[in-house]
Amino acid sequence: MGNGGVVLADLAGLVRQLHCALVELQRETACLSLESLSNSEWFEILERKLLPQLGEDAWLVVAVTGGTNIGKSVVFNHLAGFRASATSPLASGTRHPVCLAPTGFETRHDLATIFPGFSVQPWTSADDALKDGERDFLFWRTSPQVPENLLLLDTPDIDSDAPVNWRRADAIRQAADVLIAVLTQQKYNDAAVKQFFRKAAEDDAAVIVVFNQCELPEDEAYWPLWCRTFCDETGLKPEWIYVAPNDRKRAEALTLPFYERHVPDASDLRSTIDRHPNAGEGPLPPPSLQETLSRLRFEEIKLRTLRGALLHLAGPKGAEAYLAEIRLASGEYRSAAELLTAQRLAEVDHWPTPPTSLLIKSIQEWWAQQRAGWPGMVHALYNTVGDWLMAPVRSVNTWLSGPTEPPWAAYQRAEWNAVVRTVEKVFERLEWLSQLGHELLRRHLEPVLAGTARGDFLERLAREHGEVDFSRELERLVGAELETFRRENPNYFQFFQRLDAAAAAARPGLTVALSLTGIGLPFGEAATHLASHAVWQTALHVVGDVAGGTMAAAIGDTAISSTAASGVAYLQARFHRLQAAFTTSRVAWLAERMERNLLGPTTEHLARAVAAPQTPAFQQVEASLKEIRGALERSGCALREDLLSTGEDGHAETANLNHSESLRG
């Protein structure tokens, strides 16, 4: 026993550690949207019983519990020896627990830590407990009647139409060591009553049954039957049984007799209470219930209930269940994530090719930058002169055909069209995914699929699309691609350079020839300028048309590999590559935006949820649990599936160590 006590006291640190880890884990796994920990019985027990009581010196929490209007407060007042809690013929009167403590208890202990969640107030009158309201109060006062190291509580009911009462009663039950179960003929088999005491049985609380409002002597024949049904239904093994008559006057006068009775089946007897010498020998003299309380073996009961609570915590219905729940939920998220990532969301087709003229222009510009020496100067001069000469022609053309749109506008429009078409396909796919029946995935996809979300996404995408600088994008790509070309094929590059130089040499020659034939400047110059442009354009237009087709890739490949390939075929292949590279970079742009603005939060959430069982908090909880379990096993408490320890070895120990002698009032 002492050994067991020491081990349990040692566990206090571990339990605190476990609690911290659990709180942290709950915070970290918020993304799994699990039910709050404070809704689970074992966590409530951890917070209400183990944290405040483990490691402290032994005191007992004794609570009077039961259905509404069956005389809980009457029993409590009898124990208190005065009218501590108001009684009334109307049901559901007691709203808040009332606590009686031995004199001087409050100087040694803080009631607020013993009863977390309650606003602890000093008792002023018996009517305190009748207060309405959502706030949970606990009214307390000291009483010399209460045995040392014992807290006596009156609790709200567990079955009325005020659920707030059940919640408060549950909270007290979780902290209690001894429950005084007040039962009546009408209520001993009620569903709500059975459910309440079944939970108490799971935590191995000590229970004293009081059959109140009995019609004596005829009910003497019935209470053993009631008791049997109650015990069978709840799994409780009462320490002691009392029977009280239905006598309203004596109840009011606090002189109700409580007759001590034997538990019907002797094998159910427990030895945590010292037998009264006159037990079972008739109703007279009625021993006081109070006396029984003073005969409780404090340390043993304390040890047992703490152990029961620890077993609950470490058992399969405890924290382990929470971990399993996290694993399960995380697995669900994993399958959702797999489902989402396994799907190809959209095939991109009909993406527009960049306008050939602009592509050519940027190639020309790049080429112009590569020119050096006299050919560069000649070309630059001629081009400038040509542009200058063509200026009036261009402006006349503009005037005739009205204002023209900027060069990239048409492409931008076409690309936006393709973007929206792709987005549409993606949404259709997501809708299909959401309707596949994976509830979790559906829950995450629904917000993405909502009309407002779609509108916002499209608006944002449109804004970002409007901000794209296509010409710079193209310039960058052309630069990079042609640079690679120059590096990889120096021969070709030189060949083109030589051609270009030859053209530069030919240009002044042409001018001389033209002026000789009488056409002369400036018309001749403009014509050659136009012609040179046109040649480039037509050549590459043809290339562009071919490149736009599906055959281009094949043609390009052969062009590069074949040594007999002409320069034009080679150019075709390069050109196609340029266009494809541009399209690829644009599609990547869209994919990146979608990832970031549309599915980003979802995939991030999924990833976080999938990783939940790998978090340090999770592992900390696992480790603490393992240690607690190990310590419990070392102290001789086998973990059992049903959480009910028979306490065999515990009893053997207690037989030798009878502390109760010293506790007798």
Partner 1 sequence: MKTDELAYLDWLARVDALRTQLAQWAAQPVDWEPLRPAQALIQRLLSRMEPLRVRWEAPLVVATFGGTGTGKSSLVNALVGEDVSKAGKERPTTVRPIVLAHVDVDLSTLQLPLDRVDVVRSDLPLLRDIVLIDCPDPDTTETESESTNLGRLHELLPFCDVLLYVSTQQKYRSAKVGEELGKAAESCRLVFVQTHADCDADIRDDWRRQLEPTYQIAEMFFVDSRRALAEQREGLHPSGDFGRLMTFLSRELAATRRAGVRKANLLELLDQGLRRGIDLVTPALGALDDLEDAVVRERRKLGAKMAENFGRELLACRTLWERRLLAQVTQSWGMSPFAGLLRMYQAQVMVLSTWWLFRSRSTAQMALWGAWQGAKWLGERQSLQAEEERLSRLTDFGIDPAEFRSAQVTLAGYVHAAQFHRDSASDERLDGEAAVAAAFLNEASQKLNRLVDRAASRNSGWWTRLRYEALFLIFPAFLIYRIGRNYFYDSFWLDKPLLDLNFYIPSALFLFLWGAAFLWRFVTRLRRGVQSEIQELTRSLSESAAWDELFRPLSVRCRRARDQVAQLQSLETTVQALRQSLEDDSRLGGRHARV
Both tokens of residue 7?
Answer: 């081990």
Q: Which residues contact 471 (CB under 8 A, 6 or more apart)?
A: 358, 362, 407, 408
Residue 90: how many CB atoms within 10 A of its CB? 8
Contact 167, 308 (CB under 8 A): no
Query: 136: how many CB neighbours lie within 10 A of its CB?
Result: 18
Q: How far is the CB of 173 from partner 1 (least distance, A)?
A: 17
Q: Minimum Å distance from CB 427 to partner 1?
A: 6
Nearer to partner 1, 187 or 576 (CB): 187
Nearer to partner 1, 186 or 343 (CB): 186
Q: How far apart are CA 640 and CA 635, in angstroms?
A: 14
Closest CA to 426 of 515, 368, 365, 343: 343
Do the Cβ atoms of 296 and 272 come closer than 8 Å? yes
Q: Smallest gap, in angstroms, from Cβ of residue 422 to partner 1? A: 10
Measured between alpha carbons, how far is 617 from 29 in angstroms, rounded to an integer? 10
Q: Distance between alpha carbon 546 and the CA centroid of its chain, in Å? A: 55
Nearer to partner 1, 416 or 536 (CB): 416
Least Å distance, CB 186 to partner 1, is 3
To partner 1, the closest distance from the beta carbon of 413 in angstroms equals 7
The C-alpha atoms of residue 150 and residue 171 are separated, in whole angstroms, by 18
CB 613 → partner 1: shortest distance, Å? 32
Q: Following CA atoms 324, 327, 331, 332 in sequence, which dihedral angle do they give, to the nearest 10 degrees? A: 60
- Enumerate binding residues for partner 1 (CB under 8 A): 67-70, 89-92, 159-163, 184-192, 194-195, 215, 219, 222, 225-226, 229, 246, 248, 402-403, 413, 416-417, 419-421, 423-424, 427-428, 431, 446, 449-455, 458, 462
- 643 Rama class: left (phi>0) / alpha (psi -120 to 50) / beta: left
Is 455 or 520 the residue whose CB approaches partner 1 more closely? 455
Least separation in angstroms between CB 663 and partner 1: 35
Please identify, using beta-carbon distances, which residue of 48 and 465 lies nearer to partner 1.
Answer: 465
Q: How far is the CB of 643 from partner 1 (least distance, A)?
A: 19
CB of 58 closer than 8 Å to CB of 355: no
Q: Which is nearer to partner 1, 83 or 454 (CB)?
A: 454
Residue placing its CB nearer to partner 1 in the complex, 389 or 441: 441
Between 90 and 372, CB nearer to partner 1: 90
CB of 415 to partner 1, least distance (A): 9
Question: In terms of CB distance, is 402 or 518 closer to partner 1?
Answer: 402
Indicate the burial class of 638 (C-beta count within 10 angstroms; 0-12, 13-18, 19 or more). exposed
Q: Which residues of 385-424 are buried (b: 16+ CB within 10 A; e: fewer)?
A: bbeebbeeeeeeeeeeeeeeeeebeebbebbeebbeebbe
- The answer to whether 438 touches 336, Cβ cutoff 8 Å, is yes
Residue 229 neighbours by CB distance under 10 Å = 13
Distance of alpha carbon 512 from alpha carbon 117, whole angstroms: 103
Q: Which is nearer to partner 1, 327 or 413 (CB)?
A: 413
Q: What minimum distance in Å lies between the beta carbon of 157 and partner 1?
A: 8
Q: What is the 3-state secondary structure (H, E, C) of 164-176?
A: HHHHHHHHHHHHC
